[in-house]
Amino acid sequence: MPRIHCSVCGIASDQLAAPTVSPQFAPDLDTRPGEPLRSTLPAWMQLCPNCGYAAPDLAYAAELVPNWVRTSDYRSLTDAFERHAWLLEQLGYLADAGWITLQAAWNHEDGNDLDAARRCRRKAIRLFQASKAAGQDFLDTPAEELALAVDILRRIGEFEAAAETIRIALQEEELPEMLEAVLRFQTGLVQRRDTGRHTLDEVPRGPAGEKPVRLT
Ligand SMILES: [Zn+2]
């Protein structure tokens, strides 16, 4: 267990070592990696037991962070992922704040706090929308971004918004075959009002060896 000096208060504390494993199983449809990486989630975020600063690496803090960790808004958050996401939001890193808020949802789910998980997914959607409005992408392509949004919306039971997002995503030009298959799979889940966790290897693929015919 490495001993890390907090860059905000200077106190040293024992923190979980960063994971070195790679996922061996398929990710969830919201990109949460499969095992064995999946269950290393608590090691993705460090929390200083003295000043409450939360970051993937306590040894680094942006300039204004020491002021922000003293605020009541920051201190009202108890989850380390939510705390770090709040700091990223203040810094204007809205896409990163969205991702860490999604990780906060996973963390709450692991702790069986499903209300908090739902609240974080709702907040992640808002942050991703704000990031796009600010010109920040949160994934490589709009189709991938829409597919992630679909899963977040479905998991919080926003089925109409999920269905509408699927419709928009299916109109994307150059939609990769795999992503289209994911969106079709999501359509079925939305129709069944399924808010559960599903993985990429559940998505039906075409018959092995069959290649799509492109006439253009
Ligand atoms: Zn500290």
DSSP 35-98: TTTGGGGGGGSEE-TTT--EES-TT---TTHHHHTTSHHHHT--SHHHHHHHHHHHHT-HHHHH
Q: How far is the CA of 51 from the centre of ligand 1 (A)?
A: 4
Cα of 121 to ligand 1 centre, how many Å? 28
Q: How far is the CA of 83 from the centre of ligand 1 (A)?
A: 13
Which protein residues have their CB within 5 A of the ion that is ligand 1?
A: 6, 8-9, 48, 50-51, 53
Phi, psi of 129 (to 5 degrees): -65, -45
> What's the one-letter identity of residue 4?
I
Which uninterrupted H or E stretch holds 14? Answer: strand 12-14
Whole-number pLDDT of residue 38: 97
The closest of 101, 140, 90 to 124, measured between CA atoms, is 101
> 212 CA distance to ligand 1 centroid (A)?
56
- Inform me whether the pLDDT recorded for 44 exceeds 80: yes
Query: Mean per-residue pLDDT for 185-213?
Result: 85
- pLDDT band for 211, please (50, 70, 90 cuts): low
